[in-house]
Structure 1
Amino acid sequence: MTTQTIGNYINACYPAIWINTFEENRCINALHHIARESELEMKVWSCTEGYLDYTNSMDDSDSGMTTAQEALEHITDENQNHSNTIFVLKNFHHYMDNPYILQKIKDAILSCINPTNYIIFVSPKTVIPIEVEKDIAVTTFTPLDIEKMGEVLDRLTKPKDIVIDPEYRTLILKNSLGLTEQEAENVYSLAYTIHREYGADAVKTIQEEKANIIKKTGILEFIPPSNNISDIGGANEFKTWAKIRKESFSEEAKAFGVQSPKGVLLCGVSGGGKSASARALGNLWQLPILRFNIGKVFGSFVGESEANMQTALRTSESMSPCILWIDEIEKALAGLGSDSSGSGVTSRVFGELLTWMQEKEKDVFVLATGNNINALPPELMRKGRFDEIFWFDLPDNSERIEILSIHITKRGRDPEDFDLSLVSESTEGFVGAELEQVIIDGISLAFADRKELSTSHLITAADQTIPLSSQRKEEIDTMRTWANNNARSASTPIKKSVKRITKSTTTSNRRLS
């Protein structure tokens, strides 16, 4: 929410506003600016200092009022004698479970209406019980955009005449989105302290520090760029789709009329390359990835789960354009519709996620991965939530050869030294993760023999592996049936793939006979 919108609320005489923000000082400075422009007085309360009068150079004449009760009683008393004052209350979410305080809030809000005073709560957490939810308008304070981030960086670098290459400056600012002003200053200073310049290494340090900062939320995790799209074996349809939309978030694309993609759902057999594809997509599109652990959204206090969901979604929007990765989404939404608590918290949190996915205006690409598609609620699959639903099937012969080749190359060997066609025949029904494990186990066998890795080692490793497709055949067949009617194959059209497998099986039977 912009400062202008908050100003509009005040000009419209909203008596109480709750501003959700981690940037307390920046928000209060913005409110002070609004107060001056609107010719309003402003007092700011905290539990450590009581009231500070910002109108009179932060006079602390009311500094003895350090309890929540005294803070609210002061507003009620002042309303009898003065008008046109903004009362800012810091971190009042700590007191919202007290029935006496809640009634005091209602009394204070009512007393603000006639003399035209205002109560503004500034807190990093939105906690508004039902008793006062109709009395308080809720909004968020705008995080720093890339232009404001640039001002923070310039404030640190210009006095020292530090010159930054334009390319690295852009990368630094993009990787800073979502940080508070203080966090940005800290990571910029740290990067320069370590590297003595703002180059590629500084960008990496900023990414690492940002990952640590976001990890503190316990809900989101920043995933630095890792594997390339070429590291993914098979999945040619998905890779083509991704490459076509690589520039979709650019200003040039928007000017042309391209609509930014909303998201995709990657479903299929466990170990089939969905998570690797998610990581590779971030690298291909050069967008930060935020892994969203929905399970950690749920809290024990009333309203905590909904507030955590809002924080996660707001953080992702502050980093736009970015990728919000919801891994194993079916597990995250387990129990939907059978909320054992009877409170409906899971349904409300899920409903908020669905509404946001449908109506979001920021460029946050939602990438969900799931194994058990039968556990996914039908509301999630409706058109408009995702641009595409991709099915990652068991790799066919050519895809298995490609995957084996990639993992052999990664381990310093030349794929041309192996009969990968023979290995592929021994690994029919294996998923990508199992094929990688064949290479790992084969290397261990070769080391035990004190010989160089050979085709025979890989075949032996394959023979010792029981693939998931054998252990869960009925479940996979059921998912394949669903995918035929509801999803797009990540590699080749599913029906053609099934025909090819059938033909291959027939040929094998003829050879055996």
Structure 2
Amino acid sequence: MTKDEFIQELEVLIRARYGVILINTLEEERALDLLTDLARKLNKRLLTWSCTRGLVMDGNTAVHPDTVDLMTAIAKAEQLAEEPSLFVWLDLQSHLNSSPVYIRRFKELAQEIRERMPSNSIIVGPLMEIPTELQKEVTIIDMPYPDLNELKMIISQFAQQYRDRNDLQIDCSESALDALGRASIGLSKTEIENCLAKSLVQHKRITGEDIDFILEEKKQNIRKSGILEYVDTEKLETADIGGLDNLKKWLEIRKKAYTPEAEQFGIGWPKGVLLVGVPGCGKSLSAKCVAASWKMPLLRLDLGRVFGMYVGSSEANIRLALSMSEAVSPSILWIDEIEKALSGLASSNQSDGGTTSRVFGTILTWMQEKKSPVFVFATANNIGSLPPELLRKGRFDEIFFVDLPNEQERAEIFRIHIKRIGRNPENFDIAKMVKLSGEASLGDGVRLTGSEIEACVNQALLEAFFVRNSEGHPEGDVTSADIERAIVQSVPLSRVRKEDIGYMRTWATDNAVRASLAPESALSSAPESPAMAEVTVGRNIDF
């Protein structure tokens, strides 16, 4: 819903004499500004109530000091409601929840307004748990965050105040306003003004270069939610992923769907992707690198934090998390190891009163119907724990299976991690490392994962450092032999969980797309072992 649509809908509810309208928002100041303009348009008085000031008319005239008491304020509102008025109630939730008397009096006021008075009661604040007695009286309307045009206007109005200052650099050009406005999507008016004020203090400027301040504010908002985590992807790129070329190509095509040209062409927003497969083979790293490549914020949803101890809090938490991901869109919502949070779904009605089922249902409905550009990147290790509703078409654009890395992929992974420790891969025997880390040395169906390769490189580096310092060889450095020794000493996960990995491969044959491209040359000319045939599971895509 845009701002104009919100105002139009609110005006219709007011004209239709709805008794109580709840504006769901945390932007109290902005809501009051919009209501002031609407009251003026409708020729109604605007009276606000708070627990500190009581009833105040038109923003500055106190009606009576005794109206700080809610009961007195409601009685006074009944008298004033004979004339066309908008009564805006702030801080109301704690009062209504504290006593049934308040609920009854507020309900009586709502009924009188609806039946015979040319006025309306409007509650402004975050969505509250509406008392059962009032549910038939209250109509909820969500106030949207500022859209791009409103954001540009907010930024321009703030910057205009300082244009005459010679010691400040103020850029109000269309390009600067557009850049700042797009970066500010998902922030409130107050938060945007705070960012601009911070830039003035620190850098004496408001220009298109101040996007970093805005992104930092978004990170703060995510942290304050306690449910979402803003993941830093600044130093990552898709080249940090070894292998998974099929997945990379698929994601590169989806990246172009977020361009203005794609929107004009009629292409909709991608829904998301589900990665299932062997732990330690790059699923989580892929989420981080995609966010870096797409230049979008990566928000990690910890479903464990969603479940609260109070009735209804879990459902409210997931709605908050999903709305926040939409507020900072375009964004990537990363749900890591989704099967763990949904493991109790089958017995939810008996174990938690159905809370897990309701949370899961909220996620599914949102994934199916969301209109905002939020790309869902979900990962799972245990296929058997995934509910079938999650896997059907329409939830995700595609499901990929991530298998143990083949020869070429392991060679690429070794090079990546050797570069990461500041060494030249050309000085190492990559071919021998690939052989030692595969089935030719470890046995059929057993290979090192990407994370195990990283651990071997780190172990070799640590041991080389120890030898260099303890045995008096300052010129010594990590060598191929050090990494090879670490490989031989490792215990591969694929050996410990061989049956589980076999089950995943069988499932993926008909249900998922292979994340890795298996070049014909690699399979026909120099296979690692007959078990390599197991790798080529899943459908392939002809790009």
What's the TM-score, normalizing by structure 2? Answer: 0.86
What is the distance in 2 between the residues matched to 1:453 and 1:502?
29
Q: 1:51 to 1:480 in 2, by over 3 A?
A: same
Q: 1:222 aligns with which of 225, 230, 239?
A: 230
What is the distance in 1 between the residues matched to 2:63 and 2:530?
91
Moved more, 178-187 or 161-170: 161-170
1:244-393 pair list within 5 angstroms: 244-339=253-348, 340=350, 342-393=352-403
SS at 2:134 equivalent = coil
What is the distance in 1 between the residues matched to 2:212 and 2:391?
37
Q: Report the counterpart of residue 87 of structure 2 in structure 1.
A: 87
SS at 2:86 equivalent = strand
Q: 1:493 to 1:135 in 2, by over 3 A?
A: farther
What is the distance in 1 between the residues matched to 2:288 and 2:228?
15
What is the distance in 1 between the residues matched to 2:359 and 2:102?
27
What is the distance in 2 between the residues matched to 1:277 and 1:401?
18
Q: Is structure 2 residue 453 aligned with structure 1 residue 435?
A: yes
Letter in 1 for 2:497: R
Is the Cα contact below 8 Å between 2:22 and 2:140 reproduced in 1? Answer: yes
Is the Cα contact below 8 Å between 1:149 and 1:176 reproduced in 2? Answer: yes
Q: 1:274 to 1:166 in 2, by over 3 A?
A: farther
What is the distance in 2 between the residues matched to 1:237 and 1:309?
32
Letter in 1 for 2:414: L
Q: For residue 503 of structure 1, report the CA deviation from its aligned partner.
A: 5.0
Q: 1:371-407: per-residue Cα shift (whole Å, max 9, x none)?
A: 2222122111121111011111111111011011111
Letter in 1 for 2:103: L
Is the Cα contact below 8 Å between 1:269 and 1:392 reproduced in 2? Answer: yes
Q: Report the counterpart of residue 212 of structure 1 in structure 2.
A: 220
Is the Cα contact below 8 Å between 1:357 and 1:385 reproduced in 2? Answer: yes
Q: Taking every aligned residue pair, what percent have the same amino acid on both sides?
A: 38
Q: For residue 168 of structure 1, report the CA deviation from its aligned partner.
A: 6.5
Q: 1:117 to 1:166 in 2, by over 3 A?
A: closer
RMSD: 2.7
Is the Cα contact below 8 Å between 1:18 and 1:126 reproduced in 2? Answer: no
Letter in 1 for 2:361: G
Q: 1:384 to 1:500 in 2, by over 3 A?
A: farther
What is the distance in 2 between the residues matched to 1:374 and 1:200?
49
Q: Report the counterpart of residue 483 of structure 2 in structure 1.
A: 458
Letter in 1 for 2:457: I
Q: 1:198 to 1:36 in 2, by over 3 A?
A: closer
Q: Is structure 2 residue 43 aligned with structure 1 residue 39?
A: yes
Is the Cα contact below 8 Å between 1:127 and 1:304 reproduced in 2? Answer: no
Moved more, 321-330 or 298-307: 298-307
Q: 1:105-127: per-residue Cα shift (whole Å, max 9, x none)?
A: 33222122112432211112332
Q: Report the counterpart of residue 23 of structure 2 in structure 1.
A: 19
Q: 2:528 aligns with which of 496, 504, 512?
A: 504
Q: 1:256 to 1:53 in 2, by over 3 A?
A: same
Q: Report the counterpart of residue 193 of structure 2 in structure 1.
A: 185
What is the distance in 2 between the residues matched to 1:89 and 1:244?
49
What is the distance in 1 between the residues matched to 2:174 and 2:288?
26
Q: Which runs of 5+ in 2 are unaligned?
A: 164-168, 439-446, 469-475, 533-543
Is the Cα contact below 8 Å between 1:76 and 1:107 reproduced in 2? Answer: no
Letter in 2 for 1:258: I
Is the Cα contact below 8 Å between 1:146 and 1:173 reproduced in 2? Answer: yes
Q: For residue 195 of structure 1, report the CA deviation from its aligned partner.
A: 3.5
SS at 1:13 equivalent = coil
What is the distance in 1 between the residues matched to 2:216 and 2:487?
38
What is the distance in 2 between the residues matched to 1:9 and 1:259?
32
SS at 2:279 equivalent = coil
What is the distance in 2 between the residues matched to 1:222 and 1:387?
24
Q: 2:126 aligns with which of 124, 127, 130?
A: 124
Q: 1:226-269: per-residue Cα shift (whole Å, max 9, x none)?
A: 31011111110111011112221222111112122111112222
Q: Report the counterpart of residue 444 of structure 2 in structure 1.
A: none
Q: 1:335-393: per-residue Cα shift (whole Å, max 9, x none)?
A: 22423565322222221221111111111111112222221221111211110111111
What is the distance in 2 between the residues matched to 1:241 and 1:153?
37
Q: 1:61-93: per-residue Cα shift (whole Å, max 9, x none)?
A: 2342224444444444545xx143221111322
Is the Cα contact below 8 Å between 2:368 and 2:394 reproduced in 1? Answer: yes
Is the Cα contact below 8 Å between 1:271 and 1:431 reproduced in 2? Answer: yes
What is the distance in 1 between the residues matched to 2:437 and 2:138?
62
Q: 2:463 aligns with which of 435, 445, 460?
A: 445
What is the distance in 2 between the residues matched to 1:118 and 1:200?
43
Q: Report the counterpart of residue 433 of structure 2 in structure 1.
A: 423
Q: Report the counterpart of residue 410 of structure 1 in structure 2.
A: 420
What is the distance in 1 between the residues matched to 2:72 and 2:395?
48
Is the Cα contact below 8 Å between 2:191 and 2:217 reproduced in 1? Answer: no
Q: Report the counterpart of residue 511 of structure 1 in structure 2.
A: none
Matched length: 503
What is the distance in 2 between the residues matched to 1:375 and 1:443?
38
Q: 1:67 to 1:377 in 2, by over 3 A?
A: farther
Letter in 2 for 1:405: R
What is the distance in 2 between the residues matched to 1:472 and 1:502?
26
Q: For residue 203 of structure 1, report the CA deviation from its aligned partner.
A: 3.0
Q: Report the counterpart of residue 147 of structure 1 in structure 2.
A: 149
Q: For residue 455 of structure 1, report the CA deviation from its aligned partner.
A: 0.7
1:58-97 pair list within 5 angstroms: 58-79=60-81, 82-97=82-97
Q: 1:357 to 1:32 in 2, by over 3 A?
A: same
Q: 1:33-65: per-residue Cα shift (whole Å, max 9, x none)?
A: 1111112222111111111112xx531023422
